Chain A
């Protein structure tokens, strides 16, 4: 039986957190972007399984700096999460601080990753491993850069006082995208840096 009596409870209007269309949209985006990285890593393992060259050609990768960089990226995720929490507790000033910190950490990751690229003795076109390494980390770095731009926008919007505990969908949406970019890095890191040790 359908209940045809009109609804007498107030309903939220507009973009209300996880009830918003955008939240569902970004989850769908994450599914398709996650697939993209899945296929990238599929290509990596497919070619690695059949290669006759040394893998990676210059020997096992150094783990120290990439490990620190991984920690930096994860820490930035914690900052974004904190920022969203603060907005929902109406502590806008703390939210701004946490978001700014997340952006600084994201920028650090980009800088260290570019430095890592610089140190490589092979390039994108020198051999098969180089093609894979730079394409996969390049795809990820692009995502981090876009993510930092999104975080910058969120910082501006939070500073303009756009959000409070009732309306913060943009922060939730941008935040979950940033978490996704960070989680993907764990897969990339495991495949490119840990896997050769196995």
Chain B
């Protein structure tokens, strides 16, 4: 075989070698060897120790979707309560806990984790790599996310769930007005979840800059990668603000500090600043990757490349850049100086420019293409409509004077649901329809798919559009009931009906998944005839992703023959073999030249144990078991030291044989 070791003559090929170049077709000895190297052990051992980005990505998707269903059920209970005036299904306190957990679940435990699921699964496949930059960190990120989710729900069954809304304003969430464990669970849970998000973001950033296939220059990466990269960089800068805010609040509540304590010079507005400095970039972090899903998948169904690739990539980053300058638009009604309101109001309106660039890119792609009306296309086209409606109500509330009228009314609730469901849930469901064949090897049922779209789309608009009107009629958000004399009866009834119709649509989607998993038609490698790299490998992809690391010559490696853009042709069947253990190629950040051969770690239990000990540390803090917390910190540190210990297998340290070769040390 071509890969037989041509580098054996070099002095020490364990430290330097020329990567072997060749082919490894399915069924060849090389391919079988690769599968043997990369596959996880069967049974619970492999399940607990796997670092395969595909397994982790699917876990993220399934876990986040379960949280979506939990948050959805909470919403439906609230809609039953609000369907008619003067209902008594829920007490005010139960209602507080439900809307808080609904927001916490949807925004923190569903919206970003589901996108991390897509990106974890897809990034290495999109980029032509065999895994993420830090596979073990990836596993840690998932475990901590799971434990943080369980942690935040721990006090729910005993009726002590977080109850101050997802943005948790002091002084209501402070020690004087909120004496139970409710807020402490939320505060510590958010710090724990922040760890997961942060390590995940580090992984995405480093993966983008180091793990692309040779030739995939920075202007050839798919838009989903741009979206997740932008979101991850923003997370690195923004997550510390919210983690700190929640930690300071916990100190105020449990240790007796005075950061938000008005009586002793603390400032409640400090909470709002820290929260929204995080909160607004976060809003873009949970939509930009979803917009990336559409930008990558919509062209497949328009049978042409995305119109305005560079504009879209720049718009993605511009949105986030401006997104760091708009947090005060959540605080227009707090009595800040007019000049601050004007600047932040203007910046908020400026966001509509990059957003419009994106919208016109998608419209032009549909306009200039030959649309194929499959289910994913419907979801993506529906998303564009919802994006425009949600964006328009956003520009309206960016106007300070109008915001003073609309703030804390259902108009805001309508806006944020159009944005979050429209720009997150619709692309996510469309994305699952699109990549389900890649995940499982089977197609989803097209007829049920169309039904699920139309029921969801109609239910969504019937449910959420009337909320605009409820807000204009003056209905405040977060009230547990209302009197029929307020004139809000009809809009609320329509909203409740719409929300149940939407739920039925989602149910059809779930039934479709269950049926298609068992009986869906076999998909083959590229059922949609798509352009990007993930469709060049079998469905589902083998453990090693790419038998040879491909060499990329364009943005559309699988459409080069028909587009004939004169860029040369990508080499997908012939490439770098890298078969001496788990290996992949490391490239330079901008122009993707091969610069190093990465040794990738074997499966490992350490991420699970580090995640477990860190989570138990937070349990100790919550319960004031200080000794237990200390013991868990020590156990977590030991697990981390084992993890970090330099390994010969990863060539993190020198080989002892090199010593006997006449290279003494010290």
**Chain A positions near chain B (C-beta within 8 angstroms):** 1-4, 6-16, 19-21, 24-25, 28-29, 31-33, 35-36, 38-40, 42-43, 46-47, 50-53, 90-93, 95-96, 124-125, 127-128, 131-132, 135, 149, 153, 157, 161-164, 166-167, 169-170
Q: Are A92 and B646 in contact (CB under 8 A)?
A: no
Q: Would you mind naming 21 contact pairs between A and B with Cβ atoms under 8 Å apart? A: A2-B215, A2-B570, A11-B595, A25-B134, A28-B201, A32-B236, A36-B243, A36-B244, A39-B240, A43-B248, A46-B267, A50-B267, A91-B666, A127-B265, A128-B261, A149-B637, A153-B641, A161-B665, A162-B646, A164-B654, A170-B652
Bound-state Cα–Cα, A28 to B198, Å? 10
Q: Are B17 and A11 in contact (CB under 8 A)?
A: yes
For B654, give its contact among A3, A6, A161 (CB under 8 Å).
Answer: A161
Q: Are B594 and A7 in contact (CB under 8 A)?
A: yes
A32 with B239, Cβ < 8 A, contacts A4-B553, A10-B7, A11-B19 known = yes
Residues of chain B lying within 8 A (CB to CB) of residue A8: 18
Interface flags for B582-608 (1: CB within 8 Å of A; 0: not) read: 010110000000111111000000000
Besides A39-B274, A47-B265, 12 more A-B contacts (Cβ < 8 Å) are: A2-B568, A4-B553, A4-B569, A7-B214, A12-B16, A13-B14, A13-B17, A14-B15, A16-B651, A38-B240, A43-B274, A161-B656
Q: Are A15 and B652 in contact (CB under 8 A)?
A: yes
The 4 lowest CB-CB distance pairs between A and B, nearest first, are: A14-B651, A92-B666, A2-B553, A6-B21
Residues of chain A lying within 8 A (CB to CB) of residue B586: 19, 21
Q: Are A31 and B10 in contact (CB under 8 A)?
A: no
B206, CB-defined interface residue at 8 Å: yes
Bound-state Cα–Cα, A20 to B652, Å? 9
For A24, give its contact among B16, B210, B594 (CB under 8 Å).
Answer: B210
In the complex formed, the residue of B with least CB distance to A8 is: B18
Q: Are B551 and A2 in contact (CB under 8 A)?
A: yes
Bound-state Cα–Cα, A164 to B264, Å? 56
Q: Are A25 and B206 in contact (CB under 8 A)?
A: yes
Residues of chain A lying within 8 A (CB to CB) of residue B277: 39
CB distance from A153 to the nearest CB of B (A): 7
A10 with B244, Cβ < 8 A, contacts A1-B568, A28-B206, A47-B267 known = no
Number of interface residues of B (CB under 8 A): 80
Q: Are B274 and A24 in contact (CB under 8 A)?
A: no
Residues of chain A lying within 8 A (CB to CB) of residue B236: 28, 31-32, 35
Q: Are A157 and B641 in contact (CB under 8 A)?
A: no
CB distance from B204 to the nearest CB of A (A): 9
Residues of chain B lying within 8 A (CB to CB) of residue A128: 258-259, 261, 264-266
Q: Are A15 and B651 in contact (CB under 8 A)?
A: yes
Q: Are B15 and A35 in contact (CB under 8 A)?
A: no
A32 with B654, Cβ < 8 A, contacts A52-B265, A162-B646 known = no
Q: Are A2 and B244 in contact (CB under 8 A)?
A: no
B273, CB-defined interface residue at 8 Å: yes
Q: Are B18 and A11 in contact (CB under 8 A)?
A: yes
Interface flags for B396-426 (1: CB within 8 Å of A; 0: not) read: 0000000000000000000000000000000
Residues of chain A lying within 8 A (CB to CB) of residue B576: 6-7
CB distance from B136 to the nearest CB of A (A): 11
Q: Are A9 and B18 in contact (CB under 8 A)?
A: yes
Bound-state Cα–Cα, A1 to B591, Å? 12
Describe B's contact surface by its main secondary structure.
mixed
Q: Are B599 and A28 in contact (CB under 8 A)?
A: no
Q: Are B18 and A10 in contact (CB under 8 A)?
A: yes
In the complex formed, the residue of B with least CB distance to A38 is: B240
For B653, give its contact among A47, A153, A163 (CB under 8 Å).
Answer: A163
Among B249-257, B454-462, B517-525, B612-620, the stretch that binds chain A is B249-257
B623, CB-defined interface residue at 8 Å: no
In the complex formed, the residue of A with least CB distance to B211 is: A21
For A7, give its contact among B19, B599, B644, B659 (CB under 8 Å).
Answer: B19
Q: Are B209 and A125 in contact (CB under 8 A)?
A: no
Residues of chain B lying within 8 A (CB to CB) of residue A1: 553, 567-568
CB distance from B179 to the nearest CB of A (A): 18
A135 with B595, Cβ < 8 A, contacts A43-B270, A51-B265, A127-B265 known = no
For A32, give its contact among B133, B237, B666 (CB under 8 Å).
Answer: B237
Bound-state Cα–Cα, A95 to B19, Å? 33
Q: Are B653 and A167 in contact (CB under 8 A)?
A: yes
CB distance from B622 to the nearest CB of A (A): 19
Bound-state Cα–Cα, A15 to B266, Å? 48
B193, CB-defined interface residue at 8 Å: no
Q: Are A28 and B202 in contact (CB under 8 A)?
A: yes
Residues of chain B lying within 8 A (CB to CB) of residue A127: 258, 264-265
Q: Are A92 and B15 in contact (CB under 8 A)?
A: no
Bound-state Cα–Cα, A42 to B536, Å? 49
Bound-state Cα–Cα, A28 to B454, Å? 43
Residues of chain A lying within 8 A (CB to CB) of residue B341: none
Q: Are B654 and A163 in contact (CB under 8 A)?
A: yes
Q: Are A96 and B666 in contact (CB under 8 A)?
A: yes
Interface flags for B255-291 (1: CB within 8 Å of A; 0: not) read: 1111101001111001001100100000000000000
For B597, give its contact among A2, A14, A124, A162 (CB under 8 Å).
Answer: A14
In the complex formed, the residue of B with least CB distance to A28 is: B202
CB distance from A167 to the nearest CB of B (A): 5
CB distance from A56 to the nearest CB of B (A): 13
In the complex formed, the residue of A with least CB distance to B237 is: A35
Residues of chain B lying within 8 A (CB to CB) of residue A19: 586, 595-596
Residues of chain A lying within 8 A (CB to CB) of residue B598: 14, 21
Bound-state Cα–Cα, A3 to B265, Å? 65
In the complex formed, the residue of A with least CB distance to B594 is: A7
Q: Are A167 and B551 in contact (CB under 8 A)?
A: no
Bound-state Cα–Cα, A174 to B16, Å? 24
B650, CB-defined interface residue at 8 Å: yes
Bound-state Cα–Cα, A53 to B18, Å? 68
Residues of chain B lying within 8 A (CB to CB) of residue A93: 666
Residues of chain B lying within 8 A (CB to CB) of residue A2: 215, 551-554, 567-568, 570
In the complex formed, the residue of B with least CB distance to A50 is: B267
Residues of chain B lying within 8 A (CB to CB) of residue A4: 215, 551, 553, 568-569, 571
Residues of chain B lying within 8 A (CB to CB) of residue A131: 251, 257-259
Q: Are A46 and B270 in contact (CB under 8 A)?
A: yes
Q: Are B244 and A43 in contact (CB under 8 A)?
A: yes
Residues of chain A lying within 8 A (CB to CB) of residue B205: 24, 28
Bound-state Cα–Cα, A92 to B665, Å? 6
Q: Which residues B642-666 have CB closer than 8 A to chain A? A: 644, 646, 650-654, 656, 658-659, 663, 665-666
Q: Are B568 and A25 in contact (CB under 8 A)?
A: no
Q: Are A7 and B666 in contact (CB under 8 A)?
A: no
Q: Are A135 and B264 in contact (CB under 8 A)?
A: no
For B15, give its contact among A43, A46, A157, A166 (CB under 8 Å).
Answer: A166
Bound-state Cα–Cα, A39 to B450, Å? 48
Q: Are A36 and B595 in contact (CB under 8 A)?
A: no
In the complex formed, the residue of B with least CB distance to A124 is: B257
Bound-state Cα–Cα, A127 to B265, Å? 8
Q: Are A11 and B15 in contact (CB under 8 A)?
A: no
B241, CB-defined interface residue at 8 Å: yes
Bound-state Cα–Cα, A135 to B240, Å? 15
CB distance from A165 to the nearest CB of B (A): 9
Q: Are B266 and A47 in contact (CB under 8 A)?
A: yes
Bound-state Cα–Cα, A93 to B666, Å? 5
In the complex formed, the residue of A with least CB distance to B596 is: A19
